Each structure stands twice: as structure tokens, then as C-alpha cells.
Structure 1
Amino acid sequence: MSEQKRAPETGGDASENGVNAGVNEATAEAEALATADQEIGGDFAAEKQRLEAEIASLKDKFLRAFAEAENIRRRAEKEVVDAKTYGIASFARDVLNVADDLARALGTVDEEAKATADGAVKGLLEGLELTERGLVKALEKHGIRKIEPKGEKFDPNLHQAMFEVPDPSVPSGTVVQVVQSGYVIGERVLRPAMVGVARGGPKAEATSGKDKEAGAA
């Protein structure tokens, strides 16, 4: 009995090769898609980071511009207030000369002479005193206050020492005589008070802000 020749089995190999090729192609496509996704994701992240940095920069510039505008507004408001408060400083100094003349005129008449004055002299003295009081009120209306330092501790910010007076009965550094009244306008010194300061007495005690508040209370 003759042997039957077996035909080569090529059909199975072809099918397997086809499957492998399909798998490889699908794998390649998947890898390509994954790579594309990664590239797109990387581009998106980079763009997002760029936009966030731009937003932060714009926000910083806006805040700086807003702060600068606010500072300009506050400076303008302060300049307006200062102009209203201190704009009359030069005029006020000239008016103080009139106040000084009135004070000197009244200072030439002692209390006894005022008490015994009658008729026109008495009317003149009362008119001068009334004028002085009216002038002081007019100055106060415009923020100009008179400094009355007699009996107070010498303050170089408000007073100008003209001489020293030996007086052991009061603490050293106490204002015991006022040669010329001083004035302040708002928070500034318009003219310091010219004063005589005591020396030879006990050292003046420093008064704290709390002590002043307690005394005022």
C-alpha cells in the first residue's frame, strides 16, 4: 500500500501571520494615539501654564496700578485738606502782628489804671479788650490757636527760650514768663512762644501720656 503524501499545512500559518500583522498594526496605532495624546496633553499643560503666568502678571500689574491710583487719591485729598488748613498761614502771621500790637497796647495799662479809668478812656480800654477777644475768636475759627505756656514745662517744639530766670521755687525748665505769645495752625507751629525759663529749682518730672490722660479724666 503506497503512502499518501501529506500536503503542506500553509493555511494555518497564513492566518496566524495575518492575526499578528493586525495586532501589530493595532498596537502601532494605539502607540501612535498614545504618543499623540501625550503630545497634545503636554501642549495643553504648557499652554495652561503660560496662560496662568500671564494672568498672574496681569493681576500683579492691576494691583500695582490700583495701589498707585489709591496713593495718588489720598495724596490729592491730603493736599486739599492742607491747602484749606495751612493756605492762610502767611496771612495769619500778618494778622498776628495786629494781635501783638493790641496786646502791647493793653499791656501798657496796669490793672489799677483800668479800675480807675472812666469816660472815654474806659470806653477805649473796653473796646481794645473786646477787639482782642474778637480777633482771638476769629483766629480760632480758622484753626489758629494761641499757645499759653506759662507754668508749663518748656517744649522746644512749641517754645523759644529767650532767657533763664533763677527761681528755685519751681522745677527747672518751667516757663515762668511769656515775652511773646505763640500760635499753632492745625498741627503745625505758626509761631513759637518766646519765653523765659526757670532754672535752679528741682528737676522737672517727665509726664507720661497715661498720666496726662488720667489728669484730663
Structure 2
Amino acid sequence: MNDGKDLQNETLSQTVETPAAEPVADSAPARSDAERDAAAVQALITENASLKDKVLRTLAEMENLRRRTEKEVADAKTYGVTSFARDMLTFADNLARALHNVPAGALEGADPALKSFVEGIELTERDFLSRLSRHGVRKLEPQGQKFDPNFHEALFEALDESLAPGTVAQVIEDGFAIGERVLRPAKVGVAKGGVKPN
């Protein structure tokens, strides 16, 4: 009978020992699975960071492209008439020359037809300049201002005691600008000597 109990105890001990031996055998694969999972998670995190970086760069490039396109469209609207406006400056010059060549007292006792003719030229010049200004072209008014080489072209120096040195003393030819760009610089004479600026 003892043999039966011994056999039963031996079977129980084998049963008890077997589960204890299995976790030891499973712990190596469990660690291996955990390491694989950690490596997979790390790879996913790296890929996620890389994709996020690519998305952010693409968004930044798209934003820069949008801004550049908006600026190009705005510049095209503002400066699209530049060549045409530059060609029209000769017309403005001719109108101004025609008016400057009329002697000051010539219209006082002149024929009414001549007065109407001169008034018509004045009106045409004003209308033409206002139409240019609607398209962003403006006449530069440098008389009495400080000489600015970005907007003025100095032709000579004039000794004028009433003006500070470097001040525009005389405008020989009107200048024009479109937006922030110069179509044609004003040709001017610059004061030399004179009153010192404060």
C-alpha cells in the first residue's frame, strides 16, 4: 500500500514540479517578447517623430508658398502697369513743358481762345496725373526736401543761402514713383552752403 501512496506522492510532486519548471522555461521567451515589443514601440515612436517632422516641414513650406504667392499677386497688381506708366511719363512731361513755356503775363490780355487752350492743357495735365495716381503712380514733390539719392538725381549744386545744405533747391524734371518703387528719379539741383540744419 505504501507503494500506491508513494506513486501518488511521486505523481503529485511531478505535477507540482512541472508547473514550476514551465514558468522558468517561459520567462526567457516572455523577456524576448517584451524586448521585441519595446523595440517595436521605440521604432513606432521614431517613425511617428519622423512623420511629424515631415508634416511640420510640409506645412511650413506650404505657408511660405502661400505668402510668396500673395506677395507676387499684390506686386503684380501694384507694379503691373510699370512699363506702361514709364512710357506715359513723356506725355506728362510734354504737358508740363507746354504750360511752363506760357509766359506769366501772356494770358492777361490774350485772346479768349488762347486762354481756353491753356486752361484745357492745365485740365488735361491734372486729369492725366489723377488717372496715374488711381493706378498707384504718384508725382514726386522734392522741392525744399532733403536730397534723397533713392528718389532724386542731382544734376548740379546751387549756392542758395536760404536753404540748408543738401536740400533740393530746384526741380529740373519731375520724378514719379509707383508703390514703393521709383519709376523715374526727379532731376534736381541741390543747395550748397546756406543755413545749417537744426
In the superposition, the TM-score normalised over structure 2's length comes to 0.89
Which residue of structure 2 aligns with residue 166 of structure 1?
Answer: 159
Q: 89, 110, 116: which one pairs with 2:82?
A: 89
Output the CA distance in 1 between the equivalents of 2:56 and 2:63. Answer: 10
Q: 39, 51, 56: which one pairs with 2:44?
A: 51
**Residues 89, 185 of structure 1: 8 Å contact kept:** yes
2:104 matches 1:111: yes
| Cα offsets for 1:170-214 (capped at 9, x unmatched) | 110000100011111011111111111001124435xxxxxxxxx
2:191 matches 1:198: yes
Which residue of structure 2 aligns with residue 6 of structure 1?
Answer: none
Q: Which shows bigger deviation, 167-176 or 28-37?
A: 28-37
**Residues 163, 195 of structure 1: 8 Å contact kept:** yes
Aligned to 1:113, the other structure's residue is in SS state coil
User: What is the CA distance between 1:104 and its match in structure 2?
Assistant: 0.5
Matches within 5 A, 1:114-193: 114-193=107-186
Output the CA distance in 2 between the equivalents of 1:92 and 1:137. Answer: 13
Output the CA distance in 1 between the equivalents of 2:195 and 2:21. Answer: 103
**Residues 173, 204 of structure 1: 8 Å contact kept:** no
Amino acid at match of 1:166: L
Q: Which shows bigger deviation, 168-177 or 99-108?
A: 168-177
Aligned to 1:178, the other structure's residue is in SS state strand
Output the CA distance in 2 between the equivalents of 1:49 and 1:39. Answer: 15
Output the CA distance in 2 between the equivalents of 1:50 and 1:182. Answer: 66
| Cα offsets for 1:139-191 (capped at 9, x unmatched) | 00000000001011111111111100112221100001000111110111111
Q: Which shows bigger deviation, 41-50 or 72-81?
A: 72-81
For structure 2, the 5+ residue unaligned runs are: none
2:61 matches 1:102: no
Matches within 5 A, 1:44-83: 44-83=37-76
Question: How well do the aligned residues superpose, as a CA RMSD in angstroms?
Answer: 2.2
Aligned to 2:169, the other structure's residue is in SS state strand
2:26 matches 1:33: yes
Output the CA distance in 2 between the equivalents of 1:114 and 1:33. Answer: 117
**Residues 168, 201 of structure 1: 8 Å contact kept:** yes
Higher CA-based Rg: 1
Aligned to 1:114, the other structure's residue is in SS state coil
**Residues 178, 196 of structure 1: 8 Å contact kept:** yes
Q: Which shows bigger deviation, 62-71 or 44-53?
A: 62-71
Aligned to 1:116, the other structure's residue is in SS state coil
Matches within 5 A, 1:14-25: 22=15, 24-25=17-18
For structure 1, the 5+ residue unaligned runs are: 1-8, 206-217
Amino acid at match of 2:114: V
Aligned to 1:98, the other structure's residue is in SS state helix
Output the CA distance in 2 between the equivalents of 1:204 and 1:21. Answer: 112
Determine what percentage of the aligned residue pairs are the same residue.
52
